[in-house]
Amino acid sequence: MDLNLTGKVAVVTGGSAGIGLAIARGLAAEGAHLALCGRDEERLREAASEIPGVRVIGVAADLTSQDGVDRLAAAVREEFGGADILINNAGTGSEEKILTAPDERWQLYWELHVMAAVRLARAIAPGMKARGGGVILHNASICATQPLGYEPIYNVTKAALVMFSKCLANELIGDNIRVNAVNPGLVMTGDWVKTAKLLTEGTDQTWEQYLQKIAEDNAPIGRFATPEEIADLFVFLSSARATYAVGSTYYIDGGWLNVTT
């Protein structure tokens, strides 16, 4: 299936590892040029060097600030003249209690998961319109609908991201810019492995056994997804094969979702 992505320009935030890097590789395999954004400049250089056949730049920026967003948008304009695809993937989990988490922690996640997407839309969507249209995708989470008890801030901000995605879709579809959100379930990323290793250190349980138990307890499919399995959906939604996909939220969770949405 030809996805008609050859020569398109894609911006991928959180693009140096995990789901973001898998999305970048998937888009590159279809011929799209890339602007990868992350905080770690060395890791960005390494990621960019591993993607062959297309133009790739890495932009080290903290997207919790307007300055970071401006730096990324300026780099995209300078290198490519604008973007056709924006993947808002940057984010991370949290762990706290509502009654004890300070305002500063709430604000940090609000800036990362919500305001970064708002600011990037303002910075990049006008250029998309000038290019004839484009695609904006938000990597949210199943936790936007089905919250995990230990990360209320993550749950709330991802839910806000999904609603922002819907509102943005309604505003931009007249400019031929399609906006959608994706809600992944369990995905085998470095963060999950790191956490599992910490929690099983000095116990009789291996980190692999710990994660397998989580999968069996939550996902009917009985395993974590690979980042590439999630990336494939993002690549399809970025393409001309998904032109009727507008303002929706797509679950890819191995059957985990157990509430009516």
Residues annotated as part of the active site:
154
User: With contact defined as beta carbons under 8 Å apart, do 179 and 168 qualify?
Assistant: yes
Kindly report the number of other CB atoms within 10 A of residue 180's CB atom.
23
How far apart, in whole angstroms, are the C-alpha atoms of residue 77 and residue 215?
A: 42
How far apart, in whole angstroms, are the C-alpha atoms of residue 164 and residue 51?
A: 31
User: Interhelix angle for 152-172 vs 103-110, to 10°?
Assistant: 30
Residue where the block lists tokens 């989990």: 93
- What count of residues does the chain have? 261
End-to-end C-alpha distance for the chain, whole angstroms: 31
